[in-house]
Amino acid sequence: MRGRKGITRVDVVRACVALIKQGRRIGPTNVRLELGTGSMSTISHHLRTLAFQNVHCDLESKARR
């Protein structure tokens, strides 16, 4: 038995979408409050990864223009 599952990047994305719909700021504390679980370091890691992917996608789309 592995213990707790932990949170995934998908969980963080869903929490971010919920925060946006509520008009709340996206940050580790608000994401954790929305999820009700997860370590701040894991949430911060997922948020940094998502931010990097968004920047990368923005650069790719601008390069194609």
pTM of the model: 0.79
Runs of H (alpha helix) within the chain: 9-22, 28-35, 40-64
Residue 19 is predicted with a pLDDT of 92
Residue 53 is predicted with a pLDDT of 79
User: Using 50, 70 and 90 to split pLDDT, how confident is the model at 54?
Assistant: confident
Tokens of 24: 């709340």
Residue 61 pLDDT > 80, yes or no? no
The pLDDT tens digits of the residues spanning 23-44 come to 999 999 999 999 999 999 999 9
